[in-house]
Amino acid sequence: MNRIDSYSLTRRNLRDLIILFSLVSAVLFPVSNAEMYLAFGLLTLGCFLHFVSKGILIRNIVLCNKGIYQVVRHPYYMASYLIDSSFCILSGNLFLIVLYPFLFFWAYGPTIRREEQVLFARHSESFIKDSLEIPQVFPDIVSLKNIRTLFTGFSVRRITLKECSRIMKFCAIGLFVTLVHEIEIDGLVGGLKDMLSPTKMDYDEFLLMLLTVVLYTLSIITLWFSRQARSTPLEIP
């Protein structure tokens, strides 16, 4: 990787930026209940699509065009778009919400092009046929009809511990941004007091904090088990 590429916007650092901006914006901008419901709806849908996409994907072996891959060619990236968008909406920052689609295609565009070049080299005519019939990242009216075959080819055995860890981390981040809003409403001192010393009448901050910590801790533990499993050599009988 050259010096220029190391400073370019990528999928990984885009999400880091979105999370950072969302947390900072949560201190500065209010968010309505309707926006929270919408954000967590998108977060839930995005995590669900992450799960389904991984359960169908057979990387570098076949051209995936069944199930969710019959709705869009890159459902995993569509899921990432929904998840990051949920953080933007939770931030309450309208500028961040409007800016994110441009940042998404800036960061994901080169990766999608490279992946499709590889797919074309390996599957040529089959890939061309799919690219003409199946939208790239976002479904259209025609491809949405294939949603009834969403789980075709799905196997839970393809879901890795790393993927489970990632989904729990996404949920923890969404809850943490919400917690920042709750603390901001009551003021820093009052919000922290309610979070650390809850009363029978006000325990929202405490529950949010507890659930955030539990999910994030579970994501770290699950990721650790994932790395241990990959580092353990297989025993040949």
Length of the chain: 237
pLDDT tens for 67-90 read: 999 999 999 999 999 999 999 999
26, 61: one domain: yes
Task: Tell if the pTM clears 0.85, that is, is over it.
Answer: yes
Domain-located, residue 235: no
pLDDT at 226: 87
User: Looking at residue 2, what is its pLDDT?
Assistant: 43
80 and 56 belong to one structural domain: yes
Q: 3 pLDDT exceeds 60? A: no
Task: Tell me, yes or no, whether 237 lies in a domain.
Answer: no
Residues 20 and 35 in one domain: yes
Q: Which of 124, 155, 186 is the last residue of a domain?
A: 155
Residues 168 and 115 in one domain: no
Q: Is the pLDDT of residue 62 over 90?
A: no
Domain holding 221, by residue range, is 160-229
Contacts of 9 (CB under 8 A, 6+ apart): 103, 106, 107
Judgement on whether residues 139 and 166 belong to the same structural domain of the protein: no
Task: Note whether 65 and 149 are within 8 A (CB).
Answer: no
What share of the chain has pLDDT > 90, as a percent? 62
SS3 per residue for the chain: CCHHHHCCCCHHHHHHHHHHHHHHHHHHCCCCHHHHHHHHHHHHHHHHHHHHHHHHCCCCCCCCCCHHHHCCCCHHHHHHHHHHHHHHHHHCCHHHHHHHHHHHHHHHHHHHHHHHHHHHHHHHHHHHHHHHHCCCCCCCCCHHHHHHHCCCCCCHHHCCHHHHHHHHHHHHHHHHHHHHHHHHHHCHHHHHHHHHCCECCECHHHHHHHHHHHHHHHHHHHHHHHHHHHHCCCCCC
Q: Half-sphere exposure (CA, 13 Å, Cβ side) for 228?
A: 6
- The total number of structural domains in the chain stands at 2
The amino acid at residue 214 is V
Interhelix angle for 161-186 vs 33-56, to 10°?
A: 170
d(CA 120, CA 117): 5
- Contact by Cβ (8 Å): 19, 175: no
* One domain, residues 22 and 124: yes
Q: Would residue 82 count as lying in a domain?
A: yes
pLDDT exceeds 80 at position 66: yes
Query: Which tokens sit at 148?
Result: 């009834």
Let me know the angle formed at the C-alpha of 173 by 25 and 212, rounded to the nearest 5 degrees.
120
Domain membership of residue 52 (yes or no) is yes
Is 120 within 8 Å of 127 (Cβ atoms)? yes
- What CA–CA distance (Å, rounded) separates 64 from 95? 36
Q: Are 90 and 206 part of one and the same domain?
A: no
The pLDDT score that the predictor gives to residue 230 is 74
Of 97, 102, 48, the residue nearest 76 (C-alpha): 48
Q: Are residue 139 and residue 211 in the same domain, yes or no?
A: no
Residues 124 and 13 in one domain: yes
Look at residue 126 and tell me whether its pLDDT is greater than 70: yes
* Banded pLDDT at 61 (limits 50, 70, 90): confident
